[in-house]
């Protein structure tokens, strides 16, 4: 794919650039609790602004229902994002009141070289996620906001989505990959190509069914695969353990049995867990062997892996040359159930392996634990996108950049 460096080399002084970023950050009301995705976009944004671009940013936040304007709903509005981006850039970042309407046109027309503005939450326009004709229509209107402009795709967390601001707009304007997208793609191709061994994967999260694709694709390729998070309880049930009130996908038990049989030497499961009387931060807790979960009491459930498991996972990581981790080991948002995730994160950080953190909650957990991000080889911004890549799926937002490079981008609006 052509990159933002190619675009800057061609010259962007006083030229419009339409940027797709992933600013779907976690919020507590109007307060951003983890600005990692905004920070990750800064290299591309600064490069464009320093080169004199007139930068118009598209992003989404949450999942607005069709027809919802976003407005002042803290779950929808990009106001906190615009404010934080402005702080980091040391300039005011204006936010349009709509996606492609009068306010958006006004903000775009008012941009000067080296300035940046944002459109309203792009998912507030239902055409963003509509059918092909609707997406193409919205993409045309987005492109019309930046006459003579170019498109830069730097929202890796959305490149697995068939959406107007990700795919169709790349066919409307000369298209380039931002620094983040280029780096993420390079790193993940390294993992699916010929990674240095031993290659160890750590998977956590809620459901086996959500990770079944990546499990099936990676198990034949890795040296060890460590399972934590709520998904481990379905595996433990497949081993014959009574998991009490723990989260369980009964319809996946047979699948887990098959995987445990076929990959007995590869899969490593927890040997102890932290159980709680209820799903609450102030619940009564105990650390027990996995064989004694049901003995804790009726309704008790597992919410984290225990210290023995953290130590065993650390041993499995000791000689690793490549590590990929996606999904927390427990309910790390609650302090009593954060130790497993923090402990495994510390083991990965201490490893000499090339380590890739697969975005989402894993990245948030690392920041919440206060670990030095430079201790990890790469922290992805796109959990879902990275998993789909490792499952072997084609990512539409990457494919279109490579497609437009091969075919030649269509003329910009002023040239057509």
320-358 pLDDT, tens digit per residue, is 999 999 999 999 989 999 999 999 999 999 999 999 998
Q: Is 23 annotated as ligand-binding?
A: yes
Q: Is 106 annotated as ligand-binding?
A: no
Q: What is the pLDDT of residues 379-415, one digit of tens each?
A: 888 878 888 888 888 999 999 999 876 655 544 444 4
Sheet containing 16-20: which strands, arranged edge to edge? 94-95, 116-118, 54-58, 16-20, 150-153, 175-177
Q: Report the mean per-residue pLDDT for the chain.
A: 92
> Known catalytic residues?
37, 207, 360, 384
The answer to whether 265 touches 316, Cβ cutoff 8 Å, is no
Q: Is 221 annotated as ligand-binding?
A: no
Judge whether residue 73 has pLDDT over 80. Answer: no
| Same fold for the pair 4-177+395-407 and 188-381 | yes
Q: Is 302 annotated as ligand-binding?
A: yes
Closest CA to 365 of 379, 350, 377, 384: 379
Q: Is 121 annotated as ligand-binding?
A: no
Judge whether residue 251 has pLDDT over 90. Answer: yes
Name the band, by pLDDT with cuts 50, 70 and 90, for residue 210: confident
Q: CA–CA separation, 263 vs 414, rounded Å?
A: 58
> Which pLDDT score, from 0 to 100, does residue 408 have?
54
Query: Which residue do the tokens 């204006």 mark?
Result: 94
**CB neighbour burial string for 248-260, b if at least 16 within 10 angstroms, e if fewer:** bbeebbebbeebe
Q: What is the pLDDT of residues 301-327, one digit of tens each?
A: 999 999 999 999 999 999 999 999 999
Window from 21-30, 100-109, 162-171, 176-185 with minimum mean pLDDT: 21-30
Judge whether residue 79 has pLDDT over 80. Answer: yes
37: alpha, beta or left, given left = phi > 0 and alpha = psi -120 to 50? alpha
Q: How is domain 4-177+395-407 classified at the CATH fold level?
A: Rossmann fold (3.40.50)
Q: Is 63 annotated as ligand-binding?
A: yes
Could you tell me the pTM of the whole model? 0.83
Q: Is 203 annotated as ligand-binding?
A: no
Q: Is 22 annotated as ligand-binding?
A: yes
Domain boundaries, the chain: 4-177+395-407, 188-381
Q: What is the pLDDT of residues 51-65, one digit of tens each?
A: 999 999 999 998 776
Closest CA to 21 of 172, 148, 177: 177
Q: Is 47 annotated as ligand-binding?
A: no
Window from 25-34, 137-146, 380-389, 401-410 with minimum mean pLDDT: 401-410
Which homologous superfamily does the CATH classification assign to the domain defined by 188-381? Phosphoglycerate kinase, N-terminal domain (3.40.50.1260)
């Amino acid at each position: 794919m052509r990159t933002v460096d190619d675009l800057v080399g061609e010259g962007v002084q006083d030229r419009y650039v339409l940027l797709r970023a992933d600013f779907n950050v976690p919020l507590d009301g109007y307060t951003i609790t983890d600005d990692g995705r905004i920070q990750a976009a800064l290299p591309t944004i600064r490069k464009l602004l320093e080169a004199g671009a007139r930068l118009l940013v598209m992003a989404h936040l949450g999942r607005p229902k069709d027809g919802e304007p976003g407005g002042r709903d803290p779950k929808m509005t990009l106001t906190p994002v615009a404010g934080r981006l402005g702080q980091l850039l040391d300039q005011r970042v204006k936010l349009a009141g709509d996606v492609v309407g009068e306010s958006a046109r006004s903000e775009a027309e008012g941009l000067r070289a080296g300035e940046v503005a944002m459109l309203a939450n792009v998912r507030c326009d239902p055409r963003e996620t509509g059918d092909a004709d609707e997406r193409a229509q919205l993409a045309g209107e987005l492109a019309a906001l930046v006459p003579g402009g170019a498109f830069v795709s730097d929202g890796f967390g959305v490149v697995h989505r068939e959406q107007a601001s990700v795919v169709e707009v790349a066919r409307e304007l000369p298209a380039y990959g931002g620094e983040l997208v280029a780096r993420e793609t390079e790193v993940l191709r390294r993992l699916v190509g010929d990674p240095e061994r031993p290659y160890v994967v750590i998977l956590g999260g809620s459901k086996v069914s959500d990770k079944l694709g990546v499990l099936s694709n990676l198990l034949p390729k890795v040296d060890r695969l460590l399972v934590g998070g709520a998904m481990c309880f379905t595996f433990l049930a497949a081993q014959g353990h009574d998991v009490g009130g723990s989260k369980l996908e009964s319809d996946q038990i047979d699948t887990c049995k098959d995987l445990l049989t076929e990959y007995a030497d590869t899969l490593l499961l927890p040997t102890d867990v932290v159980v709680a009387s209820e799903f609450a931060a102030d619940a009564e807790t105990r650390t027990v062997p996995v064989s004694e979960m049901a003995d804790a009491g009726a309704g008790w459930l597992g919410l984290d892996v225990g210290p023995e498991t953290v130590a065993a996972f650390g041993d499995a990581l000791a000689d690793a040359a490549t590590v990929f981790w996606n999904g927390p080991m427990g309910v790390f948002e609650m302090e009593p159930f954060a130790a497993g995730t923090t402990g495994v994160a510390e083991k990965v950080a201490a490893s000499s392996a090339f380590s890739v953190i697969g975005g989402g909650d894993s990245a948030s957990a690392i920041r919440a634990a206060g670990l030095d991000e430079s201790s990890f080889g790469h922290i992805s911004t796109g959990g879902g996108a990275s998993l789909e890549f490792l499952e072997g799926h084609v990512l539409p937002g990457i494919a279109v950049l490579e497609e437009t490079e091969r075919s030649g981008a269509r003329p910009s609006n002023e040239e057509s």
